[in-house]
Each structure stands twice: as structure tokens, then as C-alpha cells.
Structure 1
Amino acid sequence: MDTRQLSSDGPKVSEIGFGGWAIGGGWGGTNDAESIRALNVAIDRGVNLIDTAEGYGDGHGERVIADVLKSRAEPLFVATKTPPAAGPWPPSPYCRWQDRYSAAYLRDNVNARLRNLGIDRIDLLQLHTWTRAWNDDPQPLLVLRQLRDEGKIGLIGVSTPEQDQDCVIQLMRNGLVDVVQVIFNLFNQDAAAQILPVAAETGTGVIVRVALDEGALAGKYAADHLFAEDDFRHRYFAGDRMSRTVERVDQIREDVVAFGLADDYTLADVALKFALSRPEVSTVIAGMRTVEQVEQNTRTSQLRDLPPEMLTRLRRHNWRRGVWYSGK
């Protein structure tokens, strides 16, 4: 597994990270024993960054990861996330940070993350969402600095709200975050405009999420595929979203065939390699809950980089779907 630097002051991390949402819940039924096997195989294959959150099964994902951490001797980098207190998600422009990320709330929540993970220090604590309404008075991030000074957390990060990812640019330029977690994939390439260049300028680490567009870019869904109602993707691909998505995935498949790469690269490989093609990206977290998924996603690191002309061709799949229907 190849590694990359996570921020100017951060460690070397595996360029494919373990995305822990599915092992916590929200993606249909989970099997903890299978999740633990998958996580151990990922570590055996060189994955050293594990990403989770309170919201992944109300801390269940963190507790599953804690079981694995106890049994492994090698150094692992664990990132988790603190959600805002109850209210709109993402926070509205009228939300006050005092109501969503107060100092007392942050301290209590970070202590809960530590207990769930069974550790004394969180390598990376990310606020799970944000609003630019707080950019000029970013007190929650200053509270995290205090917690860092107390030894409870290492790096500080923010996971971007989907509809306003650029809200973190000011935070990066002001030196308030060490890491940002962003959506960057074949359909959503907006981070290439400013977020990635500013990350290079400021030495900010970049964790890419949703590189496979919740599995769609792996090419494994048919146009009429339906998910169970307890699966997050049931809402994500509601209405005609799946059929529209599959139509565009088929166009990507045609490009892979045209460039003669279909024998060596799966669609998932191409999607992950596209995200990794940017040097500003520190790691791409792929959701994994089975050994088969681990084997598929980790193999990508050992494949040759995509040819520059292929990367240029793939840019045409940028899909400004916004809230899905603005780009229909």
C-alpha cells in the first residue's frame, strides 16, 4: 500500500483508507464478525487510516473498531467525527455555533469518542459538518485547539457540507484546520477549482470521501436497482436518480473500454485512481464491510496511474447535479 503525507505536520497514511460508515449501520444489515474480519484484512494489506464517526450507528462503528485496535500491534491512525447538537443538517445560515458546537458540548462529545474507541487520544477529530456563517467567529475550532493542547486530540479537521464545500477554504487559509474531508469523484469534481489548490498552498491534508458515489461508480447497480428502506442509499438514489446515474456510469465504462483499460481496471479502480490522481489528496476512504470489498479497494493502490490523456477524458463526466434535479 502506497502512503501519502496527511497535512504538513501529519503522519504518512495509506492512500486508501478504511471508510467505517457501513460497519456502524445505515447501509442495511450489519454483521460485526464480518466487519472485524474486513478491518483486519485491510490492516494486513497496508491500510493504516480508519475513518469513523459518532453518527455511524450512534457510536457502534467506533466500538467495533475499538475491538480491532485492542488486537493489533502496528500503529494505526484513527479519525472520527463529532456531529453538531440537534438541529438542521447541515446547519442553516441562522444557526448559532453556541447552540450546535458549544464548548461544553464539544468536550463531552470528544470524551464519548475516546470512550467508544478505547483510546487516550484521537489522531484526528473532525467536526462532521459546518456552515460558513461561523467562519468569522470559528469558536468551535478554537475549543478543539484547547483539547489538542490537553492531549485529547491530534489533528483538527472539518468534513464539508455537501452543498457548500467551499466554506472550508477560509478555514484553511486562516490555519484553523489541519485536514479537510471533501467529496471528490468523477461526478463531483468541484474541489479541483479551489479546495485542492488551497490545500497545497496551506499544507492542509485532504481526505476524499464518496469517491465511488455510494457504490454507483463501481458499476454494480442496474438502472432499476432498489435498496431496503433501512439503507441510506434508499434515499440517496430515490426517484429516478439511480437510472440517471447508471446511464452516466455506462458512459464512463465506454471510455475505459476505448482506452483499452477494461482488462486491467475495474470501474471502481478507475474511480479511485481518478481521485488519487490529484497530488493534494492525502487518502481516499472507501467504504468497506466485507473482505471482498477490502480486496477490491486495496488492490487499486498497486495499479499503474491512469494515463494523463485518460484523466483528461474523464473530466467530461463532471455532473453538476446540485441537489440532483438542477443538472437533469
Structure 2
Amino acid sequence: MNRRLGTNGPLVSAIGLGCMGMSGAYGPGDDKASIATIERALELGHNFLDTADYYRMGHNEELISRAIKGKRDKAFISVKTGVLVAPGPDGSMSIGPVNAHPDYLRNAVLYSLQRLKTDYIDLYTPGRVDPHVPIEDTIGALADLVQKGVIRYIGLSEAAAATIRKAAAVHPITALQIEYSLWSRDIEAEVLPTVRELGIGLVAYSPLSRGFLSGEIKAPGDLKDNRVHMPRFQGDNFYKNLELVEKIRMLAAEKGCTPSQLAIAWVLAQGEEIITIPGTKRIKYLEENMASENVQLSREDLQSIESIMPAGIVSGARYPERFMDALNR
């Protein structure tokens, strides 16, 4: 199943592949298994591959280049840039500072092209809005890269509605990448109506809320990675949220699908302008996630889901407090 990315954008797979976890974000990676997973995604016709130059300092891009060798035309490559990621003092990954200065972007894209072994990037996106650089300057630099044929489409990520409008006044914005799931619905108030009005596609990341909505996480001890530092996975929040997941699991069983498939199908059911990029590094979960496009949710199904998980019911913030100011800029 394909969807158009924005009013005037390209056709891409409605369910893409988030590749971040392949580079150690959620425990050790396995390059061989990851490459096989990317190859299988392309075999199944799911061409949207999402990466960033800051996923393990370019490792993720190099991984993708190996997986798409000889079949570049089958892949739609989405690259985020401009975020410095480093180990934090408590063992978590620290995000920041952000750099979306024109000079930085012009330099960064060249390195991405080298690592990906390609002469163009399909969708190029500042990973966060830089508070020290006018968005008009950032988009202006990206527009120049479009003119040069280095990138084909421009994206934004975690941007506020007002920022999206300013950016779109400079150059057409093809997609906004932002967290959207049963647990993260704050975009429904302003951001989602704005992208719909402007004809911008929405790339929903973390549709499974970093794995919690899969139903596979049963106890805090199941987590051995950065998620232990996220409020929704901590203390009382964990157990309150686990109760919600159990209700979703029961509903999925009635539908004859997995909780993951129900959660992904819900995201896709929110609008034709939405695609989603569940992440995995294993073929087993890739195939499960991709089969979500076959799950049809009736009006009654959607009402049942809404009764279980209305907007705002989740306990805990998306990120630790120190990361929150980088959102909705």
C-alpha cells in the first residue's frame, strides 16, 4: 500500500522502516541481521527507509548503503541531520545542541551522500528546529540543495505549527516527521490541522511508543537500554501504562491481530496524508509490522480504541525533561 507524501510529493510506502535501532539505540545491533531486514523491506515493497547522520556517527547510513547496493531505485531514503547525540552522564543518550545553520547543512549533506554511496537524497530533514537560526535561513539553504539536485524533497521534524507555516512560505515542505501514536497525540490540536491545510505529509515515528504498545514489555526489568530513562517507562507510570496496553492486547486478540498491528493500523486510519515508520532490526517484526496494512478498523473498532486510550491518558512525558525543550519549536 502506497500513499502520496504531501499533496505534490512522491508515492511512498504507507508503512516504512525506521532504522535507528539498527545502530545501538535499543541495545546492541547486528549488522548482518539489519541488512537482511532492510533488504526484506524492499522485497515487500516498503521503500521508505528512515535514517539520520547522527545515528551512531554515520553507521546507520553506511548500513543502508550496503543494503541498497544495486537497488537504489527501489529505496526512498529519508535522512535527518543537525542533531548532536552523545552519551549522557547517567548512561542515557543526550540530544543537543542542534545545528541547522546553512553552512552546516551544506557540509553535512555531502558526508551523507558519501556514506550512502548515492548522488541524491530523497527527503532531507533538520532533525530539530534550531532556536538560533531563523527557519527561513535553514529552508533557504535546503531549497538551494534541491535546485542543485542533491536532495529531492525538504522535511521538518518536531516543529510547531507557526514554524511550519514560516518554512512553507519559503519553499514547499513535503513532510513533517513527528511522534504520533495512541500514546502521543498532542499534535492533533494544532500541528496536524496545519499540515493538512498546507498539503504536507506526516511521517509518524514511534507508532509503537518505543515498543511499549507491542505488548512484549511486561516488567521494568525487560528494559536494558535508553528507555529506562524515559518517564513513561518509570515507576508508577510503567504499571499504569501497562494496564492500558493489556486492554489493547485484548482488543487486538478479538480482531485477530497483534497489539503492534492494531497500534500501527490506528495511526494509518487517522488520515490519508499519514505514513508511519515503525522501527525494527529483525525480519520477524518487520513482517509483522508491514502486515498491519491488512488490518481494517471499523468505526466501532476506532471507538473502542478511543474509549481505552483517549488523548492524554498516558502517564509520563515523552522524554526526560532536559529533552522536552527541543520539541514543538
How much has 1:54 moved relative to structure 2? 1.3
User: How is 1:1-328 mapped onto 2 (pairs within 5 angstroms)?
Assistant: 2-72=1-71, 74-84=73-83, 89=95, 100-130=99-129, 138-160=136-158, 165-166=160-161, 168-171=163-166, 174=169, 176=171, 177-228=173-224, 231-236=225-230, 239-240=234-235, 241-256=237-252, 260-261=254-255, 264-304=256-296, 306-316=297-307, 317=309, 318=311, 319=313, 321=315, 323=317
Deviation at 1:280?
A: 4.2
Question: 2:27 is aligned with what amino acid?
Answer: G
Q: CA deviation at 1:227?
A: 2.3
Change in Cα spacing, 1:139 to 1:283, as seen in structure 2 (3 Å) is same
Cα offsets for 1:29-78 (capped at 9, x unmatched): 11111111111111111111100001211111110100111132653110
Q: Does the 8 Å CA contact 1:183/1:211 hold for their aligned counterparts?
A: yes
**CA shift at 1:26, angstroms?**
1.7
Alpha-carbon shift at residue 146 of structure 1 (Å):
0.8
- Quick one: distance in 1 between partners of 2:252 and 2:295? 15
Instruction: Give the aligned residue type for 2:302.
Output: L
Change (3 A) 1:42 1:315: same
Contact 2:139 2:167 in 1 (8 A): no
1:133 to 1:174, Cα distance in 2 relative to 1, 3 A:
farther
- Given residue 313 of structure 1, which amino acid in structure 2 is its aligned partner? S
Deviation at 1:84, TM superposition (A): 3.8
Aligned-partner Cα distance in 2 for 1:19–1:126: 14
Render the CA deviation track for 1:266-324: whole Å, top value 9, x for unaligned.
Answer: 100110011000224331101021110111111111232x1112213323412364636
Amino acid at match of 1:38: T
SS at match of 2:128: coil
Structure 1 pair 314–171 and aligned structure 2 pair: CA distance change class (3 A)? farther
> Is residue 90–residue 129 contact of structure 1 (8 Å, CA) maintained in 2?
no
Q: Deviations over 1:108-127 (max 9, x none)?
A: 11111111111101100010
Contact 2:84 2:95 in 1 (8 A): no
Pair 1:244–1:166, CA change in 2 (3 A): farther
> Over aligned residues, Cα RMSD in angstroms?
2.6
Counterpart AA for 2:229? R
Provide the C-alpha distance between the structure 1 equivalents of 2:72 and 2:129, rounded to a whole number of angstroms.
35
> Among the aligned pairs, what percent are the same residue?
26
Distance 2:163 2:181 in 1: 18
Q: Equivalents in 2 of 1:197, 1:296: separation in Å? A: 30
Supply the distance in 1 between the matched residues of 2:260 and 2:112 (Cα, whole angstroms). Answer: 31
Asked whether the equivalents of residues 286 and 297 of structure 1 are also in contact (C-alpha less than 8 Å), the reply is yes
**Which one-letter code corresponds to 1:65 in the other structure?**
I
Q: 3-state SS of the aligned residue for 1:138?
A: helix
| Contact kept? 1:132, 1:167, Cα under 8 Å | no
Q: Give the Cα separation in 2 of the matches to 1:175 and 1:251.
A: 45
Deviates more, 1:275-284 or 1:57-66: 275-284
The alignment's TM-score, normalised by the length of structure 1, stands at 0.85
Aligned-partner Cα distance in 2 for 1:154–1:105: 18
Q: Deviation of residue 224 (structure 1)? A: 3.2
TM-score by length of 2: 0.84
Report how far residue 182 of structure 1 moved.
Answer: 1.3
Once residues 191 and 272 of structure 2 are traced to their aligned partners in structure 1, the CA distance between those partners, rounded to angstroms, is 9
Amino acid at match of 1:307: S
Count of residue pairs the alignment pairs up: 307
Asked whether the equivalents of residues 212 and 272 of structure 1 are also in contact (C-alpha less than 8 Å), the reply is: yes
Distance in 1, matches of 2:281 and 2:153, equals: 26
